[in-house]
Chains A and B, each alone.
Chain A
Amino acid sequence: MSDAAANSSREIPFLFGGRSQEYFSIWIVNLALTILTLGIFSAWAKVRRERYFYGNTSIDGAPFQYTAPPLVVLRGRLIAAALLVVYVVLGEFNPIAQVALIATLFVATPWIVVNGWRFRARYSAFNSLCFQFDGQLRNAWGPYFWLLLLVVPTLGLIFPYVRYRQRRFMVTGHRYGDIPFHFGAHIGDFAFIYIVASVVMLLGFGGATIIVMGVSVTSGAPATYADIYLLATMVLLYLAMFLGWTYISVSVTNLVFNTSRLGEHALLSRLRVKDIAWIYLSNTVAIIATVGLLIPWAQIRLARYRAERMTLLASGDLSAFSGRSSGGQSATGAEAADLFDVDLSL
């Protein structure tokens, strides 16, 4: 909120002020209310949760705002829940119809994606101005349908390009106030990330197999230990996959943020693979060990880390933006994306 419109570039860190204990209170009370109302309150709970995380993330003293009306969220939630129930029931009674439903959802992916972003952007605000997503549905068909059809025939080789197109569509579709975001990453950057990840994962798979086979052969282990070796191999394989996945997701996030521009402003994301992998792993263990009671702690911890590693490279006046103030759009897209994990941060 510096009125002095400094023209020089400044580094403004993102700050996250959420506290585990405080959020735990909010989380548990809202969870209890959700149970008491047989799930209806979950829309309000979701809005409060989002508001808490947005409201505690700030740049230069100004927090983000989440402004979605709970009733709109509830409507989206009901539709998504109905879809999920139909999906699960079909899976048991009529697998063919379930496949048809999956196919329908796949064809609907562009719609779900566009509406999800539109919803989230419209109800996200900063300094009273809201974000917008005005990417057109017709432009979503390429990255979210046609190109996806090519993934299998090309043995996945086209995937970095698909991801590049998806991210480009996402970033260029967003605006803050009247200013659109600019996407600066190149296809080569994406290809590089996926090549490194593939090599690492292949080495991991190969290494895991060799180690496990070597151990079982040299020790001449009896057949009864076969299960243990199988388990060890599985764990190593999953670990390799998890690390590969984390590497991709972290690198793509950094790449997209670091190459995007909003007017003269830029972002610097410095997430590290080992940090994120450690947070994910330890969060998972903590959540399982405490039958879910550490979920708030885990979420706060992740949000804090993400904010800590994000910096705004402001060039000039941050409050020079104008546009539409935060102020309807179907929530179904956003909710369906949440529940069905159509989320594109694969």
Chain B
Amino acid sequence: MTTFDALFYPMGSARAEPVQVSASGSYVTIAASSWSRRESLADIRTTSRLARTRRVLTLHDGSQLHTDNNDAVDGLIPRQRTEQLIDTLERHPHAIAASLVFTIAATVLFFTLGLPWLANRIAQEIPLAAERVLGEQVLMALDETAFAPSAVPESVQTRIRERTAELTSSSDSGRAYEVQFRALGDANAFAIPGGTILITDELIATLDDDDALIAVIAHEVGHHEGRHVLRSVLQSSAILVLTAFLTADVNAAAAVVLAVPTFFLNGHYSQAFELEADAMAFAHLADHGVSPEWFAYALTRIKGETTDGGIFHYASTHPRASERIAAALAAAKDFPPLEDIVAARDTGTGNVQLADTMLLGCWRGSIAEDPDNSIDWWIRFHDDAQLEVEFTAHNGGDVRPTYYTGRWQVHGATLATRYLRRQDEAADIDIDELQRYTIDHIDDTQMRYFGVPGNTEFHSYRIDCLSGDDGAIDESLNLDRGQAEFAQ
């Protein structure tokens, strides 16, 4: 027979009376000093067992028995299976250890595999139209706050759009991508939800080769194909909701406790997306005969991408540049080195050899015996495809007056070709003769001749956009190249 001491609280009273509770059969007897009562076991409700906390037995009339004798209560009233299980687990060392291992493993697995998988599945179900709504808002907000209208000539924009369309024509999703141009102040490219790829003027200026630009665009296409924006939104939202739940009861400077894991998790996801977009870009580029090495080249050119971030790396949104470059080079193993590609490309057009396209080299050739002599040049072009070239000769550090300024029509690669022909006679090039060449178009391809990889001498050039015929400079773009390290 079970007997235990308890405190009896009559219904609606805070005054307790010590009683003795004893059980026999399906009844319990509650005995106080001056009274006793009998209760059917079936009419007694009890709180579930929880550590050493006091048990409360509620009788049918609402009066209560409080006791610390948990074992006796358990012996008296058969416990509900699940309640018993939870209590057993809470006090069983193996169960506690197993819970700890399980919780850690489940959390790690969920955030590394489960959530990304789930977000991917959900993202595939969300219609593109919904994503476009999101994209329009993003673009609108960015246009208001960060972006300025692009100054990239229409002809260049059209060319980049055509190449992008070509790149994505055979993509699995069959999606069409819209390329937009904006000035930002930073060389960057964005995948705007809904299928827009936004590239900055500064990126075009920094990447002196269309193929490098296409490599970056292919990366952004990778973000689109992988629905990365949506997935990232879904994942960070899930983190927010889950951490809110897990830490709803943590009152110690809760914002910081929440912010730290959120920060690192989002960084982790973002890096994974970057690598995924890289991999997709490499495959796309290779399919279209563009060497993935161009992507590595682009990374080295874009300022800030080459820093590895040190210990802050794990919180960064982007993977280490060195790893990405290595991956690009590995993906490009079936392609010849970029220099050969550029050289072969130019030969193909019947114009010039890469090594010969260094305009400055030609001139330098003439002054090689006298290191104090050099000739600087500026090349100017504007929207109507007119080109202005200005040569300034330096002699022993003194700048002599400009002895040639002219306005040319640029015609394909003829300008470069002309110089090439002159290479062997560079020492006595006839400036006036150049004037006779009419060239109706110049683009980055020509500009690039003056700054190709491998040319370690040439450091900067300036592009001035002239407005109209008065020749006033509308906008200047100074491009500092630094040493072109890429060739090493």
Contact = CB atoms under 8 A, between A and B. Distances in A.
Interface of A: 1, 3, 17, 22-26, 28-33, 35-36, 39, 42, 44, 46, 48-49, 51-52, 55-56, 62-63, 65, 67, 81, 84-85, 88-89, 91-95, 126-129, 177, 242, 279-281, 283-284, 287-288, 291-292, 295, 298-299, 302, 318-327, 338-339, 341
Contact of B14 (A31, A44, A279, A318): A318
A75 to B, nearest CB: 16
B103 A32 contact: yes
B341 interface: no
B99 A29 contact: yes
Contact of A324 (B9, B12, B96, B261): B12
A32 B98 CA distance: 9
Interface in B42-99: 47, 50-54, 56, 62-64, 66, 86, 89-91, 95-96, 98-99
Nearest to B259: A288
Contacts of B437: none
A3 B56 CA distance: 21
B51 A319 contact: no
Contacts of B62: 325, 327
Main secondary structure of the interface of A (DSSP, over half): helix
A128 B66 contact: yes
Given A29-B89, A325-B12, A284 B253 contact: yes
A295 B244 CA distance: 14
Given A28-B96, A46-B249, A91-B237, 15 more contacts: A26-B51, A29-B95, A35-B102, A36-B102, A55-B54, A84-B241, A92-B233, A128-B9, A128-B56, A280-B253, A281-B253, A284-B252, A298-B250, A325-B9, A326-B64
A253 B7 CA distance: 33
Interface in B84-120: 86, 89-91, 95-96, 98-100, 102-103, 106-107
B130 interface: yes
B252 A48 contact: no
B349 interface: no
Interface residues of B, number: 55
Interface string B218-248: 0000000000000001000100110011111
Contacts of B368: none
Contact of A127 (B9, B246, B250): B9
B14 A320 contact: yes
B106 A339 contact: no
A95 B137 contact: yes
A288 B257 contact: yes
B134 interface: yes
B16 A319 contact: yes
B133 A321 contact: no
B90 A338 contact: no
B251 interface: yes
Contacts of B15: 3, 127, 319-320
B64 A51 contact: no
Q: Give the residue among B16, B62, B66, B253 with the most A Cβ atoms within 10 A.
A: B253
Contact of B12 (A56, A94, A322): A322
Interface string B1-42: 000000101011111100000000000000000000000000
